[in-house]
Chains A and B, each alone.
Chain A
Amino acid sequence: MATGTEPHQNSGGVRTRTRAAISAPHLRTDRWWLAPAVTAAGLFAFVVYSTWRAFSNAHYYAAPYVSPFYSPCLAENCKNMPSGPNADLFGSWWAISPAIIILIFPLGFRLTCYYYRKAYYRSFWASPPACAVAEPHAKYTGETRFPLILQNVHRYFFYFALLVACVLTYDTVLSFRDPHERWGHMGLGTLVFLVNIVLIWAYTLSCHSCRHIVGGKLKHFSKHPVRYKAWQFVGKLNARHMQLAWASLVSVALADFYVYLLASGVFDDPRFF
């Protein structure tokens, strides 16, 4: 016998006493750590960038473009954006960046999203780090109790995400005006916004909750042909939920960054017409 001839000392998990006496926490020979490492790096980069931008409270409007981080803008300290997504619901007592008010919703949507949950449970919490690789925690209760039981509210964030997507659609429509509010304009920014809004909608509609509400909850598709079609459509998107989650994350950051570059005067928006 080569290694580990003794049974385990009942230290739990794969080292429970009754299981095959193998001391290694896993025997994978592939680069199993690569996927969680890349995921962690990607998510971390976004968190850093978005925190900086959300709290900076500056360079978020360059007519006709408003950063998706600051839309809709719900406090008195918002920049005035002619016909833009201004709605002073919070009044003057809100002193810090107005982005914080609205970012709660997309953030909550993504935080409770079934794909992102997998991504951060694996990459940040190592629960598990990869399939058949032992996790480092002694106890595990999953989403059975507070706080993780709150993941079940994903559906309500989905409803809010729909509203946010509508506002961002409105913003994209406004980007067809020139800085003097005349229609018939299109710049590079318009294109960036178009791509972003398509991805945002695709991601939002590909959500598992959406799939459920649209038709997944039904027992008999045959009695609801329209909802069945809708369910099938959402199902096709849903199969790409992970790709859409990443694509829309990148596109929303890029859209914001583009506005930042314009607003801070790095360059002018190239116009197509």
Chain B
Amino acid sequence: MSGYTAHFRVWRGDVEGGGLEDYKVEVNDGEVVLDIIHRLQATQASDLAVRWNCKAGKCGSCSAEINGRPRLMCMTRMSVFERDETITVTPLRAFPVIRDLVTDVGFNYQKAREVPAFVPPAELGPGEYRMFQEDVDRSQEFRKCIECFLCQDTCHVVRDHEENKTAFAGPRFLMRVAELDMHPLDAAEASGLDRKRTAQDEHGLGYCNITKCCTEVCPEGIHITDNALIPLKERAVDRKYDPLVWLGSKIRRRPAGG
């Protein structure tokens, strides 16, 4: 149980400009980066803006970049750093900054709205749904998502290319499309919505070059690339690049069912 003084560099500023400021701050046993940011607030910088909520890795609010890596501040233990290491904390760099460590994550909420919702099967009422565990497992993995948007932040498609933000939904929301397409009772197809096709045509699945950074930063350990994005790409292939299916659709004038 021994405390020490750590060297922090925290980005302070807003959309008009800003920079990294140096702080010396006390660290105690068992603390996480968010504790240190709170100590800065309480002792040295009462107006340091930071977004946080549950402090237990469940709400996905305290996303930031620590030593250049997108992480949750509440789930980054101080013990992973050397005591003489300078720890740099910046806001997410893929989104517009508001102030200090707080960014405007509105992009994600906009993309969320663009994914058509679950379509309930017309013939089933509440209480009549029967689904088997093996059929819901896949979508349940994706529903572990806490919407911290670290995957959206790290994805180079939008991080490095602002102009792609209109065309590309980002890993989180492509995963949402996959989740719904794999939902055992989603009736999108019966309602005329082809999620496999729209994944590519409307949500920009083709921009993804499966370089797996989304999976690398996911604090929930969801296999975004292997279990959501690649299967979704394969489903799009079923629809669009499979000559047998294409031939079938020409003959029967409708796409083959999956």
Contacts and interface: CB of A to CB of B under 8 A. Distances in A.
A132 B162 contact: no
A208 B258 contact: no
Contact of A153 (B16, B206, B241): B241
Given A5-B18, A18-B97, A131-B213, A27 B160 contact: no
Interface size for chain A: under 10, 10 to 19, 20 to 34, or 35 or more residues?
35 or more
Interface of B is mostly: mixed
Given A13-B159, A19-B96, A29-B67, A221 B135 contact: yes
B210 interface: yes
Given A152-B241, A216-B234, A134 B19 contact: no
B13 interface: yes
A271 interface: no
B231 interface: yes
B176 interface: no
Contacts, number: 187
B157 A152 contact: no
A128 interface: yes
Interface in B203-243: 204, 206-213, 216-217, 226, 230-231, 233-238, 240-242
Contacts of A173: none
B184 A7 contact: no
Contacts of B164: 140
A1 B209 contact: no
A26 B159 CA distance: 12
B67 A28 contact: yes
Contacts of A21: 13, 17-19, 97
A12 B184 CA distance: 42
A92 interface: no
A208 B230 contact: yes
A155 B242 contact: yes
Interface of B: 9, 11-13, 15-22, 65, 67-70, 85, 88, 90-91, 93-97, 103, 132, 134-135, 153-154, 156-157, 159-162, 164, 182, 184, 204, 206-213, 216-217, 226, 230-231, 233-238, 240-242, 258
Given A132-B69, A140-B157, A154-B237, 14 more contacts: A1-B21, A13-B162, A18-B96, A21-B17, A21-B97, A127-B156, A128-B160, A132-B65, A140-B164, A142-B206, A152-B241, A217-B235, A217-B258, A219-B182
25 contacts: A1-B12, A18-B96, A18-B97, A20-B90, A22-B20, A26-B68, A27-B90, A28-B69, A29-B68, A118-B209, A118-B211, A131-B70, A132-B93, A132-B154, A134-B156, A140-B157, A140-B160, A144-B204, A144-B206, A144-B207, A152-B236, A152-B240, A153-B241, A217-B234, A222-B132
